[in-house]
A = this chain, B = another copy of it.
Amino acid sequence: MVAGISRARRKDSTLQFALFGDEAIVREELAKHDGLTQAVTVYHAPESIAATEKPSQAIRRAKTTSMGMAINAVKDGQADAAVSGGNTGALMAMSKLALRTLLGIDRPALAALLPTLGDQDCVMLDLGANTECDAQNLVQFAVMGSAYARTVLGVQKPRVKLLNIGTEELKGTDELKEAAGLLREADYLPFKFDGFTEGDQLSRGNVDVVVTDGFSGNIALKTAEGTARFVTDLLRRAFKSSLRSKAGFALSQPALNLLKVHLDPNNHNGAVFLGLNGLVVKSHGGANPKGVANAIGVAASMVRNDIIRKIGDDLDNFRAHAFNEAAQ
C-alpha cells in the first residue's frame, strides 16, 4: 500500500494521504520512500479486520480498526475518499453503515472498469455487492454507472446495456425485463439505453456501461479474469514448446509486452462502491504498487469529477419524472 501511495504521489503531487494502520509498521515503510512523509498523516489503528471476518462482526469494531477508521475519516470530512485492500464484505458493510446510501438508492453497488477492444474501457456494475437485485436496483445501477462513464471516462452520453442470456426482449428474468421497460422510458436521463447484451460482447467495445445483478456480475468478471489467464498460460506453453517458438517469442516480445500491459489486472484495479454519501474504493488484495496507485487514481478522479453530486442530480431527475408520471 505504501509503495502504491508513493507511486500515485509521483504521478500527482497534489494528493494528500491519511494512513490508518499499525503506526510503527507504517512509519517503517514510509521511511523507505523519499519525501513521502510530508504528504502523509499516520493514524494509529490498534486493530485490523481479518480476511475471514464476517461483515456482521466487523461492523462492531469500526472505531478501533484501520478499515473502520478510514471510512469514518470520509464520513467526518477528513478525507475525500477511502481506499482499502481488505475484506470486501466488511468494507461494504462498514461503508454502508457509516456513510448511508444516497437518497433514491436502495442498494449501493461495486463498479469497475473492464478492458475492451475499443478506444475506451467499459464500466460494469454490480460486481458482487448484491446477490439478488430487483428492477429498481438495476435502474439505479444504470444511473450510477452512467455517471461513472460520464465523469471518469468522459463519455457524454454513455451506451447502457443490461447483461442477459440473449438479446431478444423476451429473454431473461422478470427483473431484467421490468428494468429494461423502465430504462427504455427514462430517455430524459443522460445516457442511451441500448437493450440487452450477452457475456461474449463485454469486451467488444460496443457498450459503455454494463448493468447486472451482483451474482452474475461477479461470475462474469471472474470468468473473464480466469479465461484471460487461461489463454495467456496456453500461450506461454506454446512459446516454450520448441526452440523455434522460443526464438519467435524473443522476436515478438516488445509487441507482446503491450498485450501484457493491456491484460494486467493492476491496470484495472480499483472497484468503486457507488451509491453512498462518500467514496470508497476497493483495491484487489493481491494488487502490486502499480495496482494500488491505479485504485488511488480512480478515487482521485471521482472526487475531482464530483461523481456523488452527479449521481444525486440524476436520481433527483429520475424521481421528479416518476412523480410527474404518477400524478398524471
A residues touching B (Cβ–Cβ < 8 Å)?
52, 54, 115-117, 128, 131-132, 163, 165, 168, 170, 172-173, 198-204, 212, 214-216, 218-235, 237-239, 241-242, 244-245, 247-256, 258-259, 262-263
Copies in the complex: 2
A-B contact pairs, 26 of them (CB 8 A): A165-B218, A199-B218, A199-B223, A200-B222, A200-B223, A203-B226, A212-B219, A219-B223, A220-B223, A224-B226, A228-B230, A228-B231, A231-B263, A237-B259, A238-B255, A239-B252, A239-B255, A241-B255, A241-B258, A242-B254, A244-B254, A245-B251, A245-B255, A248-B248, A248-B249, A248-B250
Q: Smallest Cβ distance from A117 to chain B, in angstroms?
A: 6
Contacts of A52 in B (CB 8 A): 168
Which residue of B has the minimal Cβ distance to A256? B238
Cα distance, A227 to B222, chains bound together (Å): 11
Contacts of A234 in B (CB 8 A): 117, 259, 262-263
Q: Are B228 and A201 in contact (CB-based, < 8 A)? A: no
Q: Are B117 and A230 in contact (CB-based, < 8 A)? A: yes
Cα distance, A233 to B163, chains bound together (Å): 22
Cα distance, A132 to B225, chains bound together (Å): 25
Q: Are A258 and B238 in contact (CB-based, < 8 A)? A: yes
Cα distance, A50 to B165, chains bound together (Å): 19
Cα distance, A131 to B164, chains bound together (Å): 10
Q: Are B238 and A247 in contact (CB-based, < 8 A)? A: no
Q: Are B216 and A203 in contact (CB-based, < 8 A)? A: no
Q: Smallest Cβ distance from A203 to chain B, in angstroms?
A: 4
Q: Smallest Cβ distance from A53 to chain B, in angstroms?
A: 11
